[in-house]
Amino acid sequence: MVMLLESNAIPKTAKRKAGTLNRVLMIVLMTACAIWLVVPFTMAVLWSMVDPQTGWEYPDLLPPSLTLLRWAEVWTTTALPQALANSYMLAPTVAVITLILASPTAYCFARFDFPGKGLAQILTLLPLVVPGFVLAIFFSSLIFSLGIYSRFLSILMAHCVLFLPYAIRVMTVAFGQVRQDLIDAARDLGASPLAVFRAAYMPALLPGVLASLIIVFIQSIEEFAIAFIVGAPDFTTIPSILYSYLGYNFIRPNAAVVSLILVVPNVLLMLGLERLLKSANPAQSGVKG
Partner 1 sequence: MTLRRGLLILALLTPGLGVILLMIGSVFYVAVMQSVGFYNLTGEDSFSLEHWRKVLDSKQFGRALSYSAYIAVVASIGSVAIAYPIAIWLRRPFRGSLVISALLKAPLFVPGLVASFLFLNVIAYHGIVNQLLMWIGITNAPIRLQNDRGAWGVVFLQLWKNMPFALLLLTGAVQSISDEVLDAARDLGAGGFDRFRKVIAPLTVQAMQASLIIIFIGAAGDFAFQVTAGPTNVQSMAQYMVFLKDSFGRWNQAAAVGLSLMVLALFGSLMLAFTARILSKSGKW
Partner 2 sequence: MTALRSTDVSKVFEDGFTALSDINLSVEPGEFVTLLGPSGCGKTTLLKIFAGFYAPTTGRIELNGNDVTNAPPEKRDTAMCFQSYALFPHLSVAENIEFGPKQNRIDRTSRTGRVNELLRQVDLEQHRDKLPNKLSGGQQQRVALARALAIRPSVVLFDEPLSNLDAKLREQVRREIRGLQREFGFTAIYVTHDQAEALAMSDRVVVMRGGRVDQIGAPEEVYERPETAFVADFIGSANLLPFRRVDDHSVETALGRLTVADQPDSSARFLCWRPEDAEFGVTQGENLITANLSERAYQGSYTELHIPLPDAPDQRLHLPGVAAGIGDRITFRLSPERIRFVRGELE
148 binds, among partner 1, partner 2, none (CB under 5 to 8 A by kind): none
Can you tell me the distance from the alpha carbon of 275 to that of 211, in angstroms, rounded to the nearest whole number? 11
14 binds, among partner 1, partner 2, none (CB under 5 to 8 A by kind): partner 2
37 binds, among partner 1, partner 2, none (CB under 5 to 8 A by kind): partner 1
**57 in helix, strand or coil?**
coil
Can you tell me the distance from the alpha carbon of 201 to that of 263, in angstroms, rounded to the nearest whole number? 34
Can you tell me the distance from the alpha carbon of 64 to that of 49, in angstroms, rounded to the nearest whole number? 10
The least distance separating partner 1 from the CB of residue 220, rounded to whole angstroms, comes to 11
Can you tell me the distance from the alpha carbon of 287 to that of 289, in angstroms, rounded to the nearest whole number? 6
Where b means 16+ CB within 10 Å and e means fewer, 109-131 reads beeeeeeeeeeeeeebeebeeee
Is residue 213 part of the contact set for partner 1 (CB under 8 A)?
no
Contact 236, 82 (CB under 8 A): yes
**Closer CB to partner 1, residue 160 or residue 280?**
160
Is residue 128 part of the contact set for partner 1 (CB under 8 A)?
yes
Q: CA separation (Å) from 121 to 116, 141, 165, 213?
A: 9, 28, 9, 21
Is residue 9 part of the contact set for partner 2 (CB under 8 A)?
yes
Number of residues that bind partner 1 (CB under 8 A): 77
Q: Which residue in 15, 118, 194, 289 binds partner 2 (CB under 8 A)?
A: 15
- Of 177-185, 188-196, 198-206, 242-250, the window that binds partner 1 (rule: CB under 8 A) is 242-250
Contact 111, 175 (CB under 8 A): yes
The least distance separating partner 2 from the CB of residue 16, rounded to whole angstroms, comes to 8
Q: Which residue in 79, 96, 246, 276 binds partner 1 (CB under 8 A)?
A: 246
**Closer CB to partner 1, residue 176 or residue 185?**
176
Is residue 288 part of the contact set for partner 2 (CB under 8 A)?
no
Element at 262 (helix H, strand E): helix 252-284
Can you tell me the distance from the alpha carbon of 280 to that of 276, in angstroms, rounded to the nearest whole number? 6
Where in 58-97 is the site for partner 1 (CB under 8 A)? 58-59, 61
**Closer CB to partner 2, residue 15 or residue 288?**
15
Q: Which residue in 19, 55, 64, 233 binds partner 2 (CB under 8 A)?
A: 19
**Closer CB to partner 2, residue 19 or residue 233?**
19
**Closer CB to partner 2, residue 17 or residue 275?**
17
**100 in helix, strand or coil?**
helix
Q: Which residues contact partner 2 (rule: CB under 8 A)?
A: 1, 4-5, 9-15, 19
